[in-house]
Structure 1
Amino acid sequence: MNNWLRNYRGIIWLIGGIIAGSVAGVLFGKRVEVLKPVGDIFLNLLFTAVIPLVFFAIASAIAGLGSSGKLSRIMGIMSLVFLSTVLISAFLTIVAVWLFPIHEQLTPLRLTESLSEKPIGEQLTRLFTTGEFYELLSRQNMLAMIIFSVLVGFATRRAGEKHGVFRDFIHAGNEVFKNVFILIMKLAPIGLGAYFAYQVGVFGPQLFGAYARSLGLFYGYGLFYFVVIFSLYAFIAGGVKGVRRYWKNNIIPSATALGTCSSIATIPANLDAARRIGIPDIIANVTVPLGATLHKDGSSISSIIKMAVVFALFGKSFDSVDVILLALGMTVLVSIVEGGIPNGGYVGEMLFISAYGFPPEALPPAMVIGTLVDPLATLLNATGDTVAGMLVSRFSEGRNWLSKTDTVSGEPI
């Protein structure tokens, strides 16, 4: 019980702050507008820290990658598996949102500023690039900054050991800004509580309906994805035997993911499960650790649902081709950006909000949904890495990869 409370303490405090703020908004109405500056201070701290945090995280990860013959082939297949499963989860979520329209009954929020509408070509240009270096430091240009971070990471690798000082610098910067983000998030119960008091008091309790419907869809569809889609992946990887082995050895990783609420903390359990399933060590040792930071089916599902709710709250449709294509791209980026960053889901939410041109008021609703779906999202993120390892084994080792190992350490599996 003590371990559970320690692992979920941050979420409990955050939900407590949100509930307290919401109650204050209901009781005092528009008088809680005096608390809005407290919420604004918290959001500004987040927006200030996110740019250096993401830059150092991505550049550091790429600069630290190694390379070899078979490893390069495995990583190529792994990248395709990660990309495919994240896109499948996102697309199926879009279908679920169309079938169960959680957003159609919402009343748009009243804004003092209008959302800009620009031609798709201009939007793509601004999304991927900036005209000046200093513009990379704006949260409005996060995707361009991410692309620049990737380039810096690869350039650091090409520079070799003679420029190891710069590599050490970006690794150190990554660690420092992780801790900066941790310190800022300690203020989240107060900051989000104040912002929620303002939103509920000014915009009314209609917000709760949005969360109830979105949570119902996420948990219903998420459990379906966990049982049915993961079983389908295991069947593709190894037939009926693959399905049996996956579920027999997935209990401990699932319990670990729910108990710790962390994909990183589930890595040891996933590695042991991969060994018992029969995934080759070279595949498991690459796929599971990288999957914990780069492969997040649960985050992909929650991202689409958060986008649908935010779009509805701001009176915009979530069904045009350009919006859907950008949403699919955002889910892939969110999956990458979240990895290795404490509370990385909040960074992903800022990414899609800036990409679509929403004002800062869009962040708290997305953050609340992200917090409430975190346990099941972590379960999907973590246990999806093992079945991804099975798929990588199937496409790199051949159809009969499971038959090559009938026992592990002399024990039947």
Structure 2
Amino acid sequence: MTETKKSFWTYYRFPIILLSSIIIGSIIGLIMGEKASIFKPFGDIFLNIMFTIVVPLVFVTISSAVSSIVDMKRLGKIIGNMLLVFMVTGLIASIIMIVVVNVYPPAKGVNIALEATEEIAPLKTGEQIVKAITVSDFPELISRRNMLPLIIFSIFFGICISLLGEKAKSISDLLNLLSDVFLKMVSLIMYYAPIGLGAYFAALIGEFGPELLGSYARAMVVYYPICILYFFIAFFFYSYFAGGMEGVKVYFKNIFPVAITSIATQSSIATVPVNLSAAKRIGVPKDIRDIVIPIGATAHMDGSCLSAILKISFLFGIFGIPYKGLGTFITSIVISVLSGVVMSGVPGGGLIGEMLIVNLYGFPPEAFPIIATIGYLVDPPATMINVTGDTVASMMVTRIIEGKDWLQKKLTKGEKA
């Protein structure tokens, strides 16, 4: 019993501390009212630190991941089909949530007088598209206001390193090391997060009152049931595509240890060993699972696509902007998929995706703590959908490459335990 309590506290310590600090800050804000604005500078410090680190973090994590995928059999075919599966499932998740938030708007009735953002225009012209995906000078690339061009540049940079092979191995190793360094920096910064977000919410609630807290409950009523339904319904159809009813049976027979581990750790990366083991028991070949699952831990996030649409529509509602129109929906889907790719795969890594949403849409920095709180509230089920989605994605890639009878071929039979 003591060991169980210890494990629970080990896994949930940070979310409990963070949410407790936000609750305490909100209570202080309710008690002090507008006087709680004295705490705002402590929240601004946290925001500034996170915005400062986001550019180098995104660059090194994406470029290192891309540059490392070398010397693997059937790499091109596996990567191509993997990306196809990732994009299709992410698109499906995003569309599902777009429908849901239009039927049941998560911020309906909430009216908070935050600084107004500029009208958000969909990408309609060639000039707008060029500005969205490129910059005219390198210094402009090193800015959190140009995240999409930075992501594209990082992927291209990583591909070039990979194409150079052994000649560029030292650069790939350096990028991997830098990625670890920046992720360590994020983990250290997160020690200040309870103070920063607690202080910010003390000021926020003090100024705007309890209606903001009430709006989170509505957002959770939207998100949690959708995750449960997505897990059982969407993954049923995905696993059925992968291997028929036998695929469905073998998937749900082996997936629950992965799901439980992901909820307990709230980390896609921490669940990779368990996920690899489950994929092996299911029968996914070694080269496919060793590529799809580790990359999926940072690049395939159906749960994050679901939550990104929730956050975007929530911010639209907070700022009084109608969440409708094909252009808005298309940009939301693109941003939701990109925010999933940028996630670092560690607890708290969703902050990077949330900053991407705020920056790409041009919301003021004050919007970040609002969706950051939603991020922490949805993190456990989102991580579970992300991780278990990687498993079924590896099955779908296997079905595409090996054929529909891959389960009967016993492709893992000759592997060592």
TM-score, structure 1 length as denominator? 0.94
Q: Take 2:270 and 2:240, find their aligned partners in 1: how far apart are those partners?
A: 27
1:317 aligned counterpart, secondary structure: coil
Structure 1 position 396 matched with structure 2 position 401: yes
**Aligned residue in 2 for 1:308:** 313
Counterparts of residues 78-227 of structure 1 (less than 5 Å): 78-111=82-115, 114-116=117-119, 120=123, 121=125, 123-227=128-232
Deviation by residue 1:142-176 (Cα, 9 ceiling, x = unmatched): 11111221222223233443444433432332121
Cα 1:125/1:71, change in 2 over 3 Å = closer
- Report the equivalent of 2:355: 350
Offset, 1:240:
1.4
Q: Contact 1:57 / 1:341 at 8 angstroms: preserved in 2?
A: no
AA in 1 matched with 2:156: L
Q: Percent same amino acid among aligned pairs?
A: 43
Aligned match of 2:17: 13
Provide the residue aligned with 2:279 in structure 1.
Answer: 274
Equivalent residue letter for 1:40: D
Contact 2:316 2:323 in 1 (8 A): yes
Following the alignment from structure 1 to structure 2, what is the Cα–Cα distance between the partners of residues 51 and 67? 29
How has the CA–CA distance of structure 1 residues 406 and 346 changed in structure 2, closer, same or farther, with 3 Å as cutoff?
closer
| Amino acid paired to 1:142 | M
- Give 1:315 shift: 1.2
Shift of 1:231: 1.0
**Residue identity in the other structure for 1:319:** K
Quick one: which amino acid aligns to residue 382 of structure 2? A
Aligned residue for 1:109, secondary structure, equals coil
Q: Which moved more, 1:29-38 or 1:394-403?
A: 394-403
- Structure 2 residue aligned with 1:33, among 37, 41, 45? 37
Closer/same/farther in 2, CA of residues 237 and 37 from structure 1, 3 Å limit: same
1:43 corresponding residue in structure 2: 47
In the alignment, the residues of structure 1 paired with residue 325 and residue 102 of structure 2 have an alpha-carbon distance, to the nearest angstrom, of: 12
| Structure 1, 25-34 or 400-409: larger mean CA deviation | 400-409
Q: Spell out structure 1 runs of 4+ moving beyond 4 A.
A: 116-119, 406-410
Q: CA deviation at 1:229?
A: 0.9
* CA contact 1:126–1:141 (8 Å) conserved in 2: no
1:324 matched to which residue of 2? Answer: 329
How far off its partner does 1:261 sit? 1.4
Q: Match for residue 360 of structure 1?
A: 365
Aligned-residue offset at 1:356: 0.7
In the alignment, what sits opposite 1:53? 57
Kindly indicate whether the alpha-carbon contact (under 8 Å) linking 2:46 and 2:193 is maintained by their aligned counterparts in 1. yes
Structure 2 Cα separation of the partners of residues 143 and 407 of structure 1 = 39
Unaligned 5+ residue runs, structure 1? none
The count of aligned residue pairs is 409
Residues 71 and 135 of structure 1: CA distance in aligned 2, closer, same or farther (over 3 Å): closer
Question: Mapping of 1:217-256 within 5 angstroms?
Answer: 217-256=222-261
For the residues of structure 2 that align with 1:407 and 1:168, how far apart are their CA atoms? 31
Larger mean CA deviation between 287-296 and 63-72 belongs to: 63-72
Aligned equivalents of 2:375, 2:122: Cα separation in 1: 30
Alignment check: 8 A CA contact 1:274 1:284 kept: yes
Q: Tell me the distance in 1 between the aligned counterparts of 2:229 and 2:258.
A: 18
State the alpha-carbon separation in 1 of the partners of residues 167 and 281 from structure 2. 42
Is 1:289 aligned with 2:299? no
